[in-house]
Amino acid sequence: MILTDTHIHLYSEDYEKDREDLIENAFQQNIERFFLPAIDSETTEAMYELEARYPENVFLMMGLHPTHVQENYEEELKHVEEQFERRRFYAVGEIGIDLHWDKSTLEIQQKAFRWQIKLAKKYKLPIVIHCRKAFDEIFDILGEEKSDDLFGIFHCFTGNLEQAKRALSYNLKLGIGGVVTFKNGKIDKFLNEIPLEEIVLETDGPYLSPTPFRGKRNEPEYLIKVAEKLAGIYEKPLAEIAEITTRNSKDIFGI
């Protein structure tokens, strides 16, 4: 049994003191594949260092996170483009729109999102979408960009059934993490109406720890709590959840 975490910020300073122990603990739970989303240029070197240390387990994305789309966003996007010219990545991410913290940057967030979708199409790579309080804005752009070469993951999906089906219509799988274990998370109420073949697992560590660790640092091994919750929702053995969701991740990332 191999579990795949399709979204974890392993380079985060929150893991600075015990990162190696946390990764080893995850290995003991059969969590062996970690896909790391980029935030901005300041996280690039830390990502490269982790990849060098765990070349068989750590796989990198590159992109500009929507909350980091600020006045210097064009400079940051240039950095993203330069990295793609240098080497291989497995996705463009995480990208999207976040209207929780700052609505004043919506216009440049939209520009950055569109630009990075086009970059993904250029390199024939998946996109990994961050969406917070911006479903309509995200779907508007996905509708404009919809094509056979647009695909990826709707990371940390927290919407309703209608929004889930709409995400799937854009050739996106749903990234399911700790929210599925929350009493008020709601997605556990309808998730069994979504085929398991459209689901990938994630922690989004160090954020969004699953129950019973909610409010604390999310650790890599906690992915097992998400997988166990899905085993209950889909009424399937844990090993089958691991097999199908890992296969789904391979379909998306090509590895």
Binding site as annotated, residues for a divalent metal cation: 7, 9, 94, 130, 155, 204
Strand partners of residue 98? 132
Give me the residue label for tokens 């919750």.
229
3 close to 201: Cβ distance less than 8 angstroms: yes
Distance of CA 106 to the CA centre of its chain: 21
> How many residues in total does the chain contain?
255
SS3 237: coil
Known binding residues are 7, 9, 94, 130, 155, 204
Give, in degrees to the nearest 5, the angle at Cα 92 between 244 and 7: 45
Extract the tokens encoding 48. 């490269």
Q: Which residues contact 248 (CB under 8 A, 6 or more apart)?
A: 173, 197, 198, 199, 200
Q: H-type helices in 124-199, by residue range?
A: 135-145, 161-169
Q: Which residues contact 237 (CB under 8 A, 6 or more apart)?
A: 231
